[in-house]
Amino acid sequence: MAKQLIKGNEAVVKGAILAGCRAFFGYPITPASEIAEAAAYYFPQVGGVFLQAESEIASIYMLYGAASAGIRAMTASSSPGISLKMEGISYLAGAELPCVIVDIVRGGPGLGNIAPSQGDYHQIVKGGGHGEYKLITLAPNCAQEMCDLTMLAFELADKYRNPAVVMADGFIGQMMEPVEFPQPVSSFPDKPWALRGEDADQFRLITSIDLEPEGLERHVLHLQEKYAQAEREEVRFEEYQTEDAEVILVGYGIVSRLLHSTVDEARAKGLRVGLLRPITLWPFPSRRITELATRVSAFMVVELSNGQMVEDVRLAVAGKVPVWFYGRMGGVVPSVEEILRVLRQQIEV
């Protein structure tokens, strides 16, 4: 199909509709507002629902309602808004409701700023809400993936009856790139658990409560089984020049693109450097990192944060080789030259 030059945030909306999403519940926040705006424009035209909620909290619970009804539905926000949604996200995970949440991460903590950041890794990947749950987390690094991974998020959410998050930053959301949109999805999985407003509903209950400790433990163990399956089947990552690499750079989202350029520049200077880019932040490509740790001399993790994903890399490396970290915060995005300089300093030490 022909390509379209389009903002990542808009590609999310078109991808969602192509994936069969027909309800969007939003609340304005920079730098995610384009998603709600595009949704407000397109959803009603394709027979879907767009509703601007009174709060982030209301929007996540409207999503809970629509997901209970078995339709593909979504919301989008940015970091402080996602913090507000966390209560509902825990309920969604507990009640096993599939849905998609897009987080265009901005600088924090607090009001922070609206510049690109990856400071939400902990809140999304480790669970900002209460209880023992996981969120399938996809990290696109271009406009094409804003479409593709949003569509995948709907598939995975349905497959696991679990919320899935597309986590990007303001760069990926607001940059324009060519996108080739796929054909719309026309077949959807059955949801025999969903409420339909029909007589069979009397046997169905959407809930996250179980006052019996043994009962709740059984439920939580059931969730853990799903998560174990996702860890076996859904890990996605991309490697570049890792075959003969001595140092492997690890980064996701916008950072992975900086690191891609860094690998090229480093190779041009004779440094054997490669890139591992997690596409799924959860489930995390831990096993692959553990394998690589047996044959490389170091990893360098670069994040737009104080060092959050680096914890998962260190867990996977388990002390076998050094794991260096370089992070910029507050919306500062490092240049390729800067990353290369840090890399050379680390190698020389």
Q: Enumerate residues 265-324 that contact other proteins by CB under 8 A.
A: none
Q: Which of 297, 336, 331 is nearest to 170 (CA)?
A: 331
Piece of the chain touching other proteins by CB under 8 A; list 78-86, 155-163, 208-216, 284-292: 208-216
Compute the half-sphere exposure of residue 301: CA atoms within 13 Å on the CB side of its CA: 23
Among 130, 131, 189, 207, binds other proteins (CB under 8 A): 207
Distance of CA 222 to the CA centre of its chain: 23
CA pair distance 226, 228, nearest whole angstrom: 5
Per-residue x/- mask for other proteins, residues 30 to 49, rule CB under 8 A? Answer: ------------x--xxxxx
Per-residue x/- mask for other proteins, residues 153 to 192, rule CB under 8 A? Answer: -----------------xx--xxxxx-xx--x-x------
Piece of the chain touching other proteins by CB under 8 A; list 197-205, 228-236, 243-251, 317-325: 197-205
Q: Is 241 an interacting residue with respect to other proteins (CB under 8 A)? A: no
Query: Shortest Cβ distance from residue 281 to other proteins (Å)?
Result: 20
Q: Is 217 an interacting residue with respect to other proteins (CB under 8 A)? A: no
Residue 325 makes CB contacts below 8 A (sequence gap 6+) with 300, 301, 302, 303, 307, 310
CA distances from 162 to 116, 302, 318 (A): 27, 29, 29
Among 27, 33, 36, 59, binds other proteins (CB under 8 A): 59
| Tokens linked to 225 | 């089984």
Q: Which is nearer to other proteins, 106 or 234 (CB)?
A: 106
Would strands 49-52 and 23-26 be described as parallel, antiparallel, or unpaired?
parallel
Q: Which is nearer to other proteins, 67 or 138 (CB)?
A: 67
Among 212, 225, 243, 348, binds other proteins (CB under 8 A): 212
Q: Which is nearer to other proteins, 315 or 336 (CB)?
A: 336
Query: Shortest Cβ distance from residue 315 to other proteins (Å)?
Result: 28
Q: Is 197 an interacting residue with respect to other proteins (CB under 8 A)? A: yes
Query: Shortest Cβ distance from residue 4 to other proteins (Å)?
Result: 6
Q: Is 19 an interacting residue with respect to other proteins (CB under 8 A)? A: no
How many residues bind other proteins (CB under 8 A)? The answer is 84
Residue 22 makes CB contacts below 8 A (sequence gap 6+) with 43, 46, 47, 48, 49, 71, 72, 73
Among 37, 87, 132, 238, binds other proteins (CB under 8 A): 87
- Identify the helix (H) or strand (E) that includes residue 145: helix 143-160
Query: Shortest Cβ distance from residue 343 to other proteins (Å)?
Result: 15
Among 37, 191, 195, 239, binds other proteins (CB under 8 A): 195
Q: Is 22 an interacting residue with respect to other proteins (CB under 8 A)? A: yes
Q: Is 221 an interacting residue with respect to other proteins (CB under 8 A)? A: no
Q: Is 332 an interacting residue with respect to other proteins (CB under 8 A)? A: no
CA pair distance 344, 338, nearest whole angstrom: 10
CA pair distance 76, 16, nearest whole angstrom: 11
Name the DSSP letter for residue 246.
Answer: S
Single-letter code of the amino acid located at 203 = F
Alpha-carbon torsion angle 192, 195, 197, 202, nearest 10:
80
Among 40, 206, 271, 342, binds other proteins (CB under 8 A): 206
222 exposure class (CB count in 10 Å sphere: 0-12, 13-18, 19+): exposed
Q: Is 129 an interacting residue with respect to other proteins (CB under 8 A)? A: no
Distance of CA 121 to the CA centre of its chain: 9
